[in-house]
Amino acid sequence: MKLAFSTLGVPGLPLPDVLRLATAHGYHGVELRAHREEPVHPGIGPGERAEVAAEFKASGVRLLGLAGYARVAAPGDDEPVLAEIRGLLDLARDLGAPYVRVFPGADLLGQPPQEADATAARRLGVAAEWAADSGVRILLETHDSHRTGADAIRILGPVGHRHVGALWDVMHTWLGGEQPSETYAALAPHLGYVQVKDIASADDTTPLPLGAGVLPLAECVEVLSRHGWDGWLCWEYEKRWYEAAAPLPELLDGGRDHLDRLLHDSA
C-alpha cells in the first residue's frame, strides 16, 4: 500500500512546502483540500493549474485526489450540486488527479432516508458521465448522514458506475458502529482509497498521532491486506478544525513508521 497525507493537516501551506514535507518524510502522495481557503481550488485559472501539475511532476509526489465539499444527498435543486462537482472534475482533470471526494450531506431531520439516497444516486449518476469523460473517479466519503459502508452502498449500488466509488474514512465507520470487516465487505467493489486517522474517543475527536488513540487502524490494515488490496492509505489529520492539536509536520515521521509497522505485521 502507498502512503499519503491530506493538506487538511497543514491548512493554507503553499504547495511547494507541502511537497517538500511529503518528500522529506517518505510519503508517496498528497490529498489536496480543494477549498477557497487553500492555494489550490476550482477557482484558480489555467496558468495556475499548469504550475500545480508541473510542481507535482517535478517533485515525484503523486496527487492522490481533491477533497471537495459537494453534498450529493443534500435537499434542494440538483444544479448547484452538479456544478460544484463539475468544477472539481475539471480541476482534477487539469491537475492529473485520479479522484475527487464528495460528501453525502443529507438532512437527517428533514429528509426521509429513501429520498436522500435517491437524490444522491441521481446526481452521481449524472456526474459519472462527466467523470468518465475527464478520466477521474468520484468518491463518496463515509461521512455525516452516511457514515458506514452499509449507508454508502445504498447510494453506490443504484449508481452502478465504475467512475463513482467510495472513500473509506475509518473514523466515521467506527463512530457508526461498523467493524472493519463489515465496511470492507460493503465497499470492496467500489473502494477508491482509505483515510486513516486517530482520536481519543467518540466524545473527543481531536486528532492524535496515529496509534495514540482508539480507532481500529490495525484491524483495517489487516482486513485490506488479507484481501490483497493494494491502494492508498491517506492520513487525514484534521488540524484545520482543532487549533490546539499538535502541528502535523512534527508527527509525519511517526505516522509513517506506524503505518509501515501495521503493513509489515499484516503481511
Burial pattern 161-181, b for ≥16 Cβ within 10 A else e, equals bebbbbbbbbbbbbbbebebe
Q: Which of 82, 71, 137 is nearest to 104 (CA)?
A: 71
CATH number assigned to the domain comprising residue 163: 3.20.20.150
User: What angle (nearest 5°) sits at the alpha carbon of residue 202, between those of residues 201 and 208?
Assistant: 45
Q: How many other β-carbons are positioned within 10 Å of the β-carbon of residue 131? A: 25
Contacts of 239 (CB under 8 A, 6+ apart): 8, 9, 10, 11, 207, 245, 247, 248
Q: What's the pLDDT tens digit per position in 222-237?
A: 999 999 999 999 999 9
**pLDDT at site 30:** 98
Q: Among positive and negative, which fits the CA dihedral 73, 79, 82, 87?
A: negative
Q: Which three cell numbers stand for residue 173?
A: 465507520
State pLDDT tens for residues 198-251.
Answer: 999 999 999 999 999 999 999 999 999 999 999 999 999 999 999 899 999 999
Number of domains the chain is built from: 1
- Specify the 3-state DSSP secondary structure of 265: helix
Total residues found in the chain within this entry = 267
CA–CA gap between residue 36 and residue 44 (Å, rounded): 9
Tell me how far apart the alpha carbons of residues 42 and 204 are, in angstroms, rounded to a whole number. Answer: 32
Burial class (CB within 10 angstroms; exposed 0-12, middle 13-18, buried 19+) of 158: middle
Residue 108, pLDDT score: 87
- Per-residue model confidence (pLDDT) at position 58: 98
The pLDDT value recorded for residue 197 is 98
> What is the structure's pLDDT at 267?
79
pLDDT of the residue at 21: 98
What residue ranges of the chain have pLDDT lower than 70? none
